[in-house]
């Protein structure tokens, strides 16, 4: 137990107490054993039944409050891991050290590090409810997962056979007054092609670069329909191939399939100075074309071809170069369909996030990596099948991994309707019904628990996953009161 607490005397007191206790325990993604064991000890101390699985996920059960014993049970769900980021001059060791919390007026943040409000506040809310003997609530199944931030690994691994609830309140959102009711399912798709290489002599080697692109997380930013450096490289190389016998030496664009590539470069070979000058003219033309097309989303976009070097080198054969350019230029990318139920929501998309050549034992492998997303599972499958068919036509290998289900919008959600009415009564305004074009754990649980009625909420947070992360005290309290009223009404 702590004596000198930073969050002492701040309401709701027990929520703040547990948030501070959690903050003292290292709990970055992949380093959750201590926080998992802390939750087990909490369950033991409060004489609550629990399950701790091999991954470290923890489920804690609590009987219903007096008069609620026979009410339908409810899952309260969040995750125990946090993203660990820090300022360059921070001396924290996230593997061993707790966080240094700071309170400034209405805000809580950490000293030069991420705060872990995502999703420590969910754990704190849950423990305060489980501890209390005064809060009316139905029978509870509190599910706290590991490693949500690195691919929802805990939720994916969790055996849900012990869960009986058909109602779930997820506490992993960051906008007070927003009821999150749907998210995209997704998958990673890779196309791979072993290119043939040969040594060529007495030619010109140059580098084409496309950059100046403002991009980000494909789930959140793809709606802007800005530039994708990998796709533009395919387009530019094809235009050059129409004028020259360009050959590819190497290719590099993007680092993660779920991030829109900001920069792409291709090392290319031309047989003569004349061929290079033709390519140079094409690049100059497309530099203007790209700016005209994307100036509203990517005002600093550019396409350059760098000063050539006369050299012999190893590069793709003409045929392999054509296949690689065809792959880049023909694969689909971007927003495919908007939702008709929720205004402004991307329903289905795919992002070409990686395009690169990698050394193998004999030559090089061309690798294209995609993040496929949809809040409608049938549309996600359609995109995956389309990429598979395209791979067959091009004669390249196809791989799919990390497939997770969509959390589809539930038109007849009793929980959403109840929470809408409660919020309007408490705060005299309507909550926002929201959805995101990215994966959240609700989608995993909806796929495992047939008929699950689920809504996600949370207090206001800013700059999550950065050292500027902040959570607002008054919003924590309002959200706490809202949660208690929801539980009280679920009788």
258/392 same-domain check: yes
The CATH number for 344's domain is 3.30.70.360
202/237 same-domain check: yes
pLDDT above 70 covers a percentage of the chain that reads 99
The CATH number for 143's domain is 3.40.630.10
31/169 same-domain check: yes
Radius of gyration of the chain, Cα coordinates, nearest whole angstrom: 26
Is 118 among the catalytic positions?
no
195/341 same-domain check: yes
pLDDT at 3: 64
Residue ranges of the chain with per-residue pLDDT less than 50? 1-2
Domain count, the chain: 2
Report yes or no on 8 lying in a domain: no
116: left (phi over 0), alpha (psi -120 to 50) or beta: left
Catalytic residue among 21, 141, 148, 275: 148
Is 377 among the catalytic positions?
no
352/480 same-domain check: no
299/379 same-domain check: yes
Where a domain ends, among 383, 404, 425? 404
227/200 same-domain check: yes
Catalytic residue among 20, 21, 81, 141: 81
Q: 110 lies in which domain range? A: 13-184+407-489
Where a domain ends, among 379, 404, 429? 404
Alpha-carbon distance of 108 to 99, in angstroms, equals 12
Q: Over the stretch 271-310, which tens digit does the pLDDT of each residue have?
A: 999 999 999 999 999 999 999 999 999 999 999 999 888 7
373/445 same-domain check: no
Look up tokens 């007054």; give the residue.
177
246/268 same-domain check: yes
Which structure tokens are listed for 52? 């701790």
Report yes or no on 146 lying in a domain: yes
């Amino acid at each position: 137990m702590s004596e000198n607490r930073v969050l002492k005397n701040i309401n709701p007191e027990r929520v703040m107490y547990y948030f501070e206790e959690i903050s003292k325990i290292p709990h970055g993604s992949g380093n959750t054993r201590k926080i998992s064991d802390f939750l087990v000890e909490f369950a033991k101390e409060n004489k609550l039944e629990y399950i701790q699985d091999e991954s470290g996920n923890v489920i804690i059960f609590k009987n219903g409050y007096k008069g609620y014993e026979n009410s339908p049970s409810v899952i309260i769900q969040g995750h125990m891991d946090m993203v660990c980021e820090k300022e360059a001059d921070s001396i924290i060791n996230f593997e061993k050290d707790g966080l240094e919390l700071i309170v400034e007026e209405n805000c809580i943040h950490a000293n030069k590090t991420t705060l872990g409000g995502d999703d420590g506040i969910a754990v704190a809310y849950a423990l305060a409810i489980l501890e209390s003997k005064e809060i009316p609530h139905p029978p509870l199944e509190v599910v706290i997962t590991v490693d949500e931030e690195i691919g929802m690994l805990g939720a994916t691994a969790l055996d849900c056979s012990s869960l009986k609830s058909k109602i779930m309140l997820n506490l992993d959102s960051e906008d007070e007054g927003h009821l999150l009711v749907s998210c995209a399912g997704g998958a990673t798709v890779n196309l791979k092609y072993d290119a043939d290489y040969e040594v060529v002599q007495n030619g010109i080697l140059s580098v084409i670069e496309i950059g100046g692109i403002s991009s980000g997380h494909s789930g959140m930013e793809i709606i802007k329909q800005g530039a994708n450096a990998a796709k533009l490289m395919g387009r530019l190389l094809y235009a050059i191939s129409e004028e020259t016998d360009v050959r590819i030496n190497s290719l590099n664009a993007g680092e993660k399939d779920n991030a829109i590539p900001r920069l792409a470069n291709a090392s290319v070979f031309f047989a003569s100075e004349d061929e290079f000058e033709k390519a140079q003219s094409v690049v100059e033309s497309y530099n203007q074309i790209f700016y005209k097309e994307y100036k509203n989303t990517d005002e600093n976009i550019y396409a350059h071809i760098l000063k050539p070097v006369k050299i012999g080198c190893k590069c793709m054969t003409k045929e392999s170069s054509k296949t690689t350019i065809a792959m880049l230029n023909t694969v689909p990318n971007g927003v495919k369909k908007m939702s008709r139920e929720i205004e402004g929501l991307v329903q289905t998309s795919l992002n070409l996030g990686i395009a690169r050549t990698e050394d193998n034992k004999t030559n090089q492998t061309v690798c294209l990596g995609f993040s496929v997303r949809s809040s409608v599972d049938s549309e996600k499958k359609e995109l995956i099948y389309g990429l598979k068919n395209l791979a067959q036509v091009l004669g390249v290998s196809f791989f799919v991994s990390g497939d997770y289900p969509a959390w589809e919008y539930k038109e007849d959600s009793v929980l959403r309707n109840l929470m809408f009415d409660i919020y309007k009564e408490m705060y005299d305004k309507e909550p926002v019904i929201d959805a995101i074009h990215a994966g959240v754990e609700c989608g995993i649980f909806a796929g495992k628990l047939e008929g699950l009625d689920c809504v996600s909420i949370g207090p206001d947070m800013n700059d999550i996953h950065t050292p500027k992360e902040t959570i607002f005290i008054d919003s924590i309290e309002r959200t706490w009161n809202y949660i208690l009223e929801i539980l009280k009404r679920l009788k």
